[in-house]
Amino acid sequence: MNKIFLSQINKIKKDSIRCSKNKKKSLNESFNIDTENIFFDYSRNIIDSKTIKDLTKLAELIDVKDNFRRLCSGEEVNLSEKRQALHPAMRETFHSLSKDTQNEIKKHKALLKKISNEVNSGKRKSFSKKKFTDVVSIGTGGSYYGIKMIYESLKNYSAKNINLHFISNLDSTESNDILLNLKPETTLFIIVSKSFKTVETLENAKRVKRWLLKNTNNQDIMKNFLAVTENKFSAQKFGIEEDNIIKIWDWIGGRYSLWTGVSIGLIIAVGFNNFSKFLKGAYKGDKHFFQRKYEKNIPVIMALLSFYYTRFFKAQTHLVLPYNYRLRFLKEHLQQLEMESNGKSVDKNGNNLTHISGNIIWGATGNCSQHSFYQLLHQGKTFIPSDFIISSKTDSGSQDNHDKLFSNYLSHIEILNTGFTKNEAIDLYEKKFSNLGLNKNLVVKNLQLSGNKPTNAFLLKDMSPETLGVLLSFYEHKTYVLGLLANVNSFDQWAVEIGKIKANDIYKNIKDSKKANKKSKNSLIKKYLS
């Protein structure tokens, strides 16, 4: 990093010391950003106006918007793999792209619309000439987490005649459980693998193929398959017809691929129109990110605050708490998005990093987790910044129930900020616990909370496809800005590749040991085979 950037870092370090010593927990009402779909309140953070001014200066120094312009224009931003990262173009684009790329994207979307409409209308039929009632998406990583999360989030919008299932795990227990309740003659299987070489995906695809052959008297089962891949040759070799192959490109990374045909199972389930609204929402998030000033830019502020706590408060985790059952799988998607993107030990140029570039992302549905780890959140000594997420409207049908849910959401946000003083603890003891024969001093001590625990509050307009698109694009841009701040490549994942290679070597070792009837030198393999 250059000297100006480092000088700004030192300013922010002084801000963090000053703010952490300030025990006054009054809210700065200007620390919120309102959009059509999302109200973002960051007033309960360990910051003041000077901190925000100094943090946004960092965004200027790394020129966030120019970097995003270059990404959207098709420059090679994934340096280690010599690739573009053009996923925003799947939403729309407001920067120049080649006509060929634009036409490819238009054709891609047209194909997704055609396939989803054909399955839903019954025009596209199984080998049995029957309509499809179930769709199984076979994929892992970026071909699974985001898509499953969106499907569960938008389940209220899904077609009543189509059930969507997912097979991701190499553990065959998962596929066994899912196949148990499916009918071969009415189930469409979608193999999602960019390379068509992903071990988990191919093994599950082969398993499904064997299951179909076993239960269909060797009929034309390949009519029940679609493939989403860059490797058309291998998909055809597997037996999938060319017309049933959806092409994706090398400029779409796995964890950024949910905007593409990788989501075809989801698109069939919720309908292309709803998926288009989801893309529209993401595009609104893109415009917000590119057009808003940094101090009124939600993903930029999200990223700067995360950087601030990691760098100066030694935070190692970030907690995501959706007070919405539909968003219960959000954390899995964000785990892959942030941890795979920015969990690096070297910068873009291959130099060793001296600071943490990626946090552990974790979480659970808000109300349930109040009865598990909130004790640690409020009173534990671990420093944990948090995102609290809720919608104004509910699709549950019970507004009173939702009011109670919102009350729980806000109560913990406020207590994490203000704490619970000794006088408040004494008052509570006298009102509720004084007649129980307990040690007053001990109870009062345990009731006290220090507060000053940082939170971001997200209030969503609703749980519509559009609002979800906005929310996910905000988290995507947050991840991108964090990558720029750490000077890492947010679009590669070399450690994952090493894991795949090592697993293959161990598998060969196991097979060789069995074949030659000789003991492996590895103690775990030896015990496994004993």
- What span, in angstroms and rounded, lies between the C-alpha atoms of 162 and 408? 35
Strand partners, 38: 460
Asked if the structure places residue 333 within a domain, the reply is: yes
Please, which residues have CB within 8 angstroms of residue 360's CB and are 6 or more apart in sequence? 316, 317, 318, 339
Residues 18 and 162 in one domain: no
Minimal CA–CA distance to 222: which of 245, 203, 201? 245
Given 500, 502, 511, 514, the catalytic residue: 500
412 part of the active site: no
CATH number reported for the structural domain that contains residue 22 in this entry = 3.40.50.10490
- What span, in angstroms and rounded, lies between the C-alpha atoms of 54 and 57? 5
pLDDT tens by residue, the chain, 530 residues: 688 999 999 999 999 999 988 765 667 888 999 999 999 999 999 999 999 999 999 999 999 999 999 999 999 999 999 999 999 999 986 567 888 999 999 999 999 999 999 999 999 999 999 999 999 999 999 999 999 999 999 999 998 889 999 999 999 999 999 999 999 999 999 999 999 999 999 999 999 999 999 998 777 999 999 999 999 999 999 999 999 999 999 999 999 999 999 999 999 999 999 999 999 999 999 999 999 999 999 999 999 999 999 999 999 999 999 999 999 999 999 999 999 999 999 999 999 999 999 999 999 999 999 999 999 999 999 999 999 999 998 887 788 999 999 999 999 999 999 999 999 999 999 999 999 999 999 999 999 999 999 999 999 999 999 999 999 999 999 999 999 999 999 999 999 989 989 999 899 888 888 877 677 778 888 888 88
Residues 112 and 203 in one domain: yes
Helix or strand or coil: residue 192?
strand
- 441, with CB counted inside 10 A (0-12, 13-18, 19+), is exposed
Q: Nearest-5° angle of CA 215, CA 218, CA 224?
A: 75
Asked if the structure places residue 445 within a domain, the reply is: no
- What span, in angstroms and rounded, lies between the C-alpha atoms of 188 and 234? 19
Question: What tokens appear for 41 in the block?
Answer: 């309140």
Which helix (H) or strand (E) segment holds residue 209: the answer is: helix 199-215
Asked if the structure places residue 442 within a domain, the reply is: no
Strands laid side by side in the 360-363 sheet: 32-34, 38-41, 455-460, 386-391, 317-322, 360-363
Instruction: Kindly give the residue spans of alpha helices, DSSP state H, lying in 33-98.
Output: 49-61, 64-72
pLDDT at position 292 is 97
Residues 267 and 383 in one domain: no
Domain that holds residue 230: 87-275
Asked if the structure places residue 76 within a domain, the reply is: no
Asked if the structure places residue 330 within a domain, the reply is: yes
CB 469 within 8 A of CB 87: no
Exposure letters 66-75 (e unless 16+ CB within 10 A, then b) = ebbebbbbbe
DSSP assignment of 355-395 equals S---PEEEE--HHHHTTTTHHHHHH-SS---EEEEEESS-S
pTM tops 0.75, yes or no:
yes
Residues 299 and 248 in one domain: no
Asked if the structure places residue 440 within a domain, the reply is: no
Residues 247 and 389 in one domain: no
371 part of the active site: yes
Residues 237 and 171 in one domain: yes
Residue that is last in its domain, among 241, 275, 309: 275
Phi, psi of 389 (to 5 degrees): -130, 130
Residues 143 and 94 in one domain: yes
Number of domains into which the chain is organized:
3
The amino acid occupying position 192 is: V
Residues 213 and 91 in one domain: yes
Residues 375 and 505 in one domain: no
Residues 134 and 118 in one domain: yes
Given 21, 99, 160, 371, the catalytic residue: 371
Residues 159 and 257 in one domain: yes
- What span, in angstroms and rounded, lies between the C-alpha atoms of 78 and 70? 12
- What span, in angstroms and rounded, lies between the C-alpha atoms of 396 and 368? 17
Which helix (H) or strand (E) segment holds residue 479: the answer is: helix 465-486
Residues 263 and 326 in one domain: no
Strand partners, 459: 39, 390
Asked if the structure places residue 352 within a domain, the reply is: yes
Residue that is last in its domain, among 219, 248, 275: 275
Q: Nearest-5° angle of CA 168, CA 170, CA 174?
A: 65
- What span, in angstroms and rounded, lies between the C-alpha atoms of 118 and 363? 38
Asked if the structure places residue 145 within a domain, the reply is: yes
Q: C-alpha 124: how far from its chain's center?
A: 32
Given 185, 338, 340, 476, the catalytic residue: 340
- What span, in angstroms and rounded, lies between the C-alpha atoms of 252 and 460? 28
Strand partners, 361: 318
The amino acid occupying position 336 is: Q
- What span, in angstroms and rounded, lies between the C-alpha atoms of 353 and 345? 5
200 part of the active site: no
